[in-house]
A and B are shown apart, each in its own frame.
Chain A
């Protein structure tokens, strides 16, 4: 092992960097229990903001709307993203493959205002030309989210596909399996962890998106980030602190479970190397 001075410097930076990442979130959590409305004054422990949060009809219906959109978007994105990952990692000589891979990686970095604007213009043009969509809302947000989430799923799944042992697939095909059956019996079980993490990633991305949803949504569909945004534009609000705490706790819990399952799988693999 190479040890050097820069090693300890980088260690310090890692600790400071993690503190930088977590302190602001920690502050939000602490102040969600503050009895006072002001940020700078600590007026004792209170859970009143949580009570107000759960009585806020507008926030609750926006949460339900966002969860539904995120569920549908993540599910569709996993299907599309997996197909893309297959084309990119397996179909080396397919015509149009380069175009597909450019279209799938571009949304990873595309500024959201551009994506949002371009999709809105498409929906307006479609409404003019073919009469659909009449009203923009859940369906248009679903299409927009599916499109950019597919890119993330494709990255996650293609990383896993690269590690799949092709010889097992070839053996199955030699023994008379159709490509489709080979996929379901051999490939799918191997890439399932990647599909799950791709789905979860897409779900959080969809749940979090403000800019694209604002462009492609209509008056009928208000998602959670839109409600939060219009509220925090006016300044700090303790109710939003309470909401933030719940989101942070939920995400941390899921991440902890994921870590636990990954560690258990890793240990199992080490114990039975040929399983």
Chain B
């Protein structure tokens, strides 16, 4: 349909001013400043206070008494975190578990993404949807599914006993093994997706050139495919590792008493002990630990979102 050229009416000109670039930029910017950046400043502030029995349960940092502004900064929470071996162990446990789960995700996810990228075109969309579909259903319910499978009277133990491999049920639920398995299961799609997006853009002619020049397929893979998919591997690993470090639901439902993970400790510190300053200090230290991975991920994501534009 063809449109006629008309002089722009006044209302449109007014609207053009209202919807100019500054407004387009300003609305999301202010929203994120208020609801994303400012909250972190508050976490930092409250991590420097001491807990009291009050509402809200922490002392103010700035106090205005007799025309004097006093600033009370309490670094006791941080010293407390360092002195108590429970917290150090929880940070270490989180990083260890998340790292292990990321490696397993990569070992399973990379071949999956590779096969998807090499599949015929009309299959790729179906496979992509199949990998993504589980992540659109409920995360909580997918973790819960493993409770029924891994339990002492669960499906896996009953099956193994029926086969005669074991006489006694194996303790699988409420162990660190279950936590790693849960993380791998829940986060696998987030590993496959960025690697697939990366591999599917790979220039097939490079591989053909290599094989024409007598490169064996395995050598081609190590020399060309793997280095060129580095960005996808990095993005996928960060998408698994960073949230896994702070994971709460999986260690709570699948972990046992000896499972120490920082997300769970923070949750208990906040909801059970109602110690907001210590919970805030835990969050700040966790952020500092994750700063390098987050910056790495951000650089990848910013490149993805900006190119061609």
Q: Which residues of chain A have a CB within 8 Å of any CB of chain B?
A: 1-7, 9-11, 13-14, 16-18, 20-22, 24-25, 27-28, 31, 38-40, 80-81, 83-92, 94, 96-97, 99-114, 117-119, 121-122, 124-125, 128, 143-144, 146-147, 150, 154-155, 158-159, 161-163, 175-176, 178-181, 201, 204, 207-208, 210-211, 214-215, 225, 228-229, 232-233, 235-236, 240-241, 243-244, 247-248, 251-252, 255, 258-259, 262-263
Contact = CB atoms under 8 A, between A and B. Distances in A.
Nearest to A172: B3
B218 A87 contact: no
Interface of B: 5-8, 12-13, 15-16, 19-21, 24-25, 27-29, 31-40, 42-43, 46, 56, 108-109, 111-112, 114-116, 118, 125-127, 129-131, 133-134, 136-142, 144-149, 151, 153-155, 157-158, 185, 188-189, 192, 204, 207-208, 211, 217-218, 220-221, 238-239, 242-243, 245-249, 252-253, 263, 266-267, 270-271, 276, 279-280, 283, 286-287, 290, 293-294, 297-298, 301-302, 304-309
B119 to A, nearest CB: 8
B217 A121 contact: no
Contacts of A7: 115, 118, 217
A13 B112 contact: yes
Nearest to B247: A111
A106 B294 contact: yes
A118 B42 contact: yes
B211 A105 contact: no
B12 A147 contact: no
A258 B276 CA distance: 44
**Is the contact region of chain B dominated by helix, strand, or loop, or is it mixed?**
helix
Please list the 6 inter-chain residue pairs (A to B) with the smallest Cβ-Cβ separation, ordered nearest first. Answer: A111-B246, A4-B217, A118-B39, A13-B111, A14-B115, A10-B115
A106 B134 contact: no
B298 to A, nearest CB: 5
A25 B35 CA distance: 35
Contacts of A176: 5-8
Contacts of B133: 251-252, 255
Contacts of B37: 103
Nearest to B197: A159
Given A178-B13, A178-B15, A228-B140, A11 B32 contact: no
A236 B148 contact: yes
A83 B28 contact: yes
B21 to A, nearest CB: 6
